Amino acid sequence: MSLTRRQKWRIEKIQAERIARANRAADNSDDTELDDGDAQTGLVITRYGQRLLVEAESGELLQCTGRRNIELSVAGDQVIYQTTDNGEGVVTALLARENSLVRSQKLIAANIDELWLVVSIEPHYQFELIDRYLVVAENANLPINIVVNKIELSSDIDKVKRDFSMYESAGYNVSYLSVNEKINIAEFKSQLNDKTHIFLGQSGVGKSSLINELIPDLNLRVNEISTKSKLGKHTTTNTTLYHIPSGGDLIDSPGIREFKLDELTDKEILSGFKEFKPFIGQCKFRNCAHIKEPKCAIKTAVENGDIHPLRYANYLQLIGL
């Protein structure tokens, strides 16, 4: 987390405390009696159902419920909470978000600095799925990178690199890793710095394995959370934030298991292909759909080699052509 963000939150905390106090006055019917004045700022680590695991500024973890009258909070959120007699907490206010990530109408996480789309050799990456994830992330205005994991399973790594060259030419940074064989892990780790990163991607690609590799003593923490929430340990079921001991945070998220896809509008799809941006508005017709129209700047860019033809083909496929 950057210093400026922390400072911003401190200022917001004072405002949020005022709001929380006003809410308490307005919501006498709420079942929990709270002490006035002991409101504190916390970081949401994970949510399971209606319950939240909140980290106090001291680092202590606290089980919380949320007030009915406040918006749902998720991993990465900064909240105001108060402790109750039974050692738990009640979240009374949600601090302003810098950004948030929504998939299939569900809020996933908040206050993210960088998004890493993880794909793998097995299950094998699919371009349509990659493009769909990229469209969602581009529309959330997050910096995006791509990770190709399990490269030791590929018998033709040059082919894999050729496949991803279209993403590299579109401006994405692509890392080729093997968690199992520890290939390129150190270089990968050195890119993480002091920021909040979220790992997104299909189930089974190795998001949690990568996080475990990056934070070696994590197992304890994973066990602690899964015991409390009575959730299985092997596959991720809820989005959870972990601290890197040297600074920065990693957010693990469950991959899609069923082929449940986001409904994307044509407008979202177009703005999800980031290398198209310089050419949008340059076509002969203002309402150009970049399909068959004459003097289309996007198609000209494909012909000139400024847009990869496969990315353009993927674009047409996503808009349903």
Site residues (vs ligand GTP, CB under 6 A): 149-150, 152-153, 178-180, 203-209, 235-236, 254-255
What letter would DSSP give residue 96?
A: P
Q: Measure the CA angle with vertex 94, ends 92 and 97; round to 5°.
A: 175
Site string for Mg ion, 196-215 (x = CB under 5 A): -----------xx-------
In the bound state with Zn ion, the residue whose beta carbon lies nearer, of 1 and 302, is 302
User: What kind and span of H or E run contains 149?
Assistant: strand 144-149
Integer CA distances (angstroms), 81 to 166, 228, 234, in order: 46, 20, 31
Query: What are 107's two structure tokens?
Result: 């809020």
Q: Which does 227 bind (CB under 5 to 8 A by kind): Mg ion, ligand GTP, Zn ion, none?
A: none
Q: Which does 2 bind (CB under 5 to 8 A by kind): Zn ion, Mg ion, ligand GTP, none?
A: none
In the bound state with ligand GTP, the residue whose beta carbon lies nearer, of 169 and 180, is 180
Least distance between Mg ion and beta carbon 293 (Å): 44
Site string for Zn ion, 252-291 (x = CB under 5 A): -------------------------------x----x-x-
Instruction: Compute and round to an integer the Cα radius of gyration of the chain.
Output: 22
User: What kind and span of H or E run contains 62?
Assistant: strand 61-66
What letter would DSSP give residue 31?
A: S
Pick from 34, 158, 21, 141: nearest CA to 86: 34
In the bound state with ligand GTP, the residue whose beta carbon lies nearer, of 13 and 207, is 207
> Do residues 222 and 234 touch, judged by C-beta distance below 8 A?
no
149 binds Mg ion (CB under 5 A): no
For 118, the 3-state DSSP assignment is: strand
In the bound state with Zn ion, the residue whose beta carbon lies nearer, of 148 and 283, is 283
298 binds Zn ion (CB under 5 A): yes
Footprint on this chain of Zn ion (rule: CB under 5 A): 283, 288, 290, 296, 298
Instruction: Give the footprint of Mg ion on this chain (CB under 5 A).
Output: 207-208, 236
